[in-house]
Structure 1
């Protein structure tokens, strides 16, 4: 399934693209995919930062505590 996105560019730019024989559709598709990937990653980072703020700092060494509990259980 696909959709069409169209936009206007200055005529001079379109002529230069054609002269250079650029496959602008593929280039734009790749750019948009990368842009979406980066924006999603940024949104996830902001969400993680917000969760870290909500949780706050955890005191102690949890890894060591978990290892000690596991050892003591056996």
Structure 2
């Protein structure tokens, strides 16, 4: 893991009181929610990059690649 930092957020007082009443570890809940949101955004970003890469790969003419490989092998 990395270095820990402290952050704060504002919530409605009644929500915090209910969380305490139900023994909810607010820090843990907020930490997990933030981690999940970051993970979700990272996955979305990776999917966009994969989609972009897929579109670029689709532009490659495989026949040309095969011909170039054959030429390269003959030259060796």
Output the TM-score relative to the length of structure 2.
Answer: 0.66
The 2-side partners of 1:10 and 1:34 are apart by: 22
Flag as ranges the 4+ runs of structure 1 deviating above 6 A: none
Query: For residue 72 of structure 1, what is the aligned residue in structure 2?
Result: none
Tell me if 1:47 matches 2:49: yes
Output the TM-score relative to the length of structure 1.
Answer: 0.68
Count the aligned residue pairs: 61
Query: For residue 8 of structure 2, what is the aligned residue in structure 1?
Result: 6
* Distance apart, 1:55 and its partner CA: 2.1
